A and B are shown apart, each in its own frame.
Chain A
Amino acid sequence: AQSVSQHNHHVILSEAASLELGCNYSYGGTVNLFWYVQYPGQHLQLLLKYFSGDPLVKGIKGFEAEFIKSKFSFNLRKPSVQWSDTAEYFCAVIRITGGGNKLTFGTGTQLKVEL
């Protein structure tokens, strides 16, 4: 069965620090990849997505992610975090072959940015 792993469950950073959140998936076929963010009390919002093409994708609020097919990874990065980035971050994968439109989510990473 396909699974998505997020290695960091809780991350605490100071403002202006750099961020990298890891995401690995187990399926070897073609996939669509996503990072969603859930701010406290708000709904899940799409940060960025990878469907095809340039493996380095840029999203909203200065976030970017790199798809490395050989490593089955899609890590999220931001060079300088802000207090307002405090939220829970979810990596998600859609398996293109035979998976329908089912999003398989990682367990999430709770990010806290301190002033």
Chain B
Amino acid sequence: KAGVTQTPRYLIKTRGQQVTLSCSPISGHRSVSWYQQTPGQGLQFLFEYFSETQRNKGNFPGRFSGRQFSNSRSEMNVSTLELGDSALYLCASRKRDRRGTEAFFGQGTRLTVV
């Protein structure tokens, strides 16, 4: 069965631009979470969606937003890009919105802001 698919894999943007990243969860999974991975800060939680509703949000500025569609696919948007937004953005999917279920990660989108 197909894993978590993130597109695009690589992206280069200029400061001030905006970007949209996409995540398709494993078929049948309804929970999608987003994480930012950087060498300095490690893996940090951005937000989590379940059934098109944001369930949890991390400590990121409002420039970071997301949404989930009825087919469970999710998008993450970053507006007014800053150099510090350069990172690997990871998406994870879960079958259910319950503790005790493991998360499966995609390969990530490598965003470089220049």
Give A contacts to B, CB under 8 Å. Answer: 32, 34, 36, 42-46, 49, 51-52, 90, 92, 94, 96, 99-108
Contact = CB atoms under 8 A, between A and B. Distances in A.
B105 A102 contact: no
B99 A96 contact: yes
B90 interface: yes
Contacts of B90: 43-44
Range class of the B interface residue count: 20 to 34
17 contacts: A43-B90, A45-B105, A46-B103, A46-B104, A51-B100, A90-B43, A92-B43, A101-B33, A101-B103, A102-B48, A102-B56, A102-B58, A103-B92, A104-B45, A105-B35, A105-B43, A108-B43
Contacts of A51: 99-100
A46 B92 CA distance: 12
Sorted nearest first, the 9 A-B pairs with minimum C-beta distance are A100-B56, A105-B43, A44-B105, A43-B107, A107-B42, A51-B100, A102-B45, A43-B105, A96-B99
A105 B41 CA distance: 10
B66 interface: no
Contacts of A32: 99-100
B97 A49 contact: no
Residue among A36, A45, A52, A101 facing the most chain B CB atoms (10 A cut-off): A101
B31 interface: yes
Given A34-B102, A43-B106, A101 B94 contact: yes
B67 to A, nearest CB: 17
Contacts of A46: 102-104
Contacts of B107: 42-43
A93 B43 CA distance: 12
Interface in B71-114: 90, 92, 94, 97-108
A94 B42 contact: no
Contacts of A45: 105
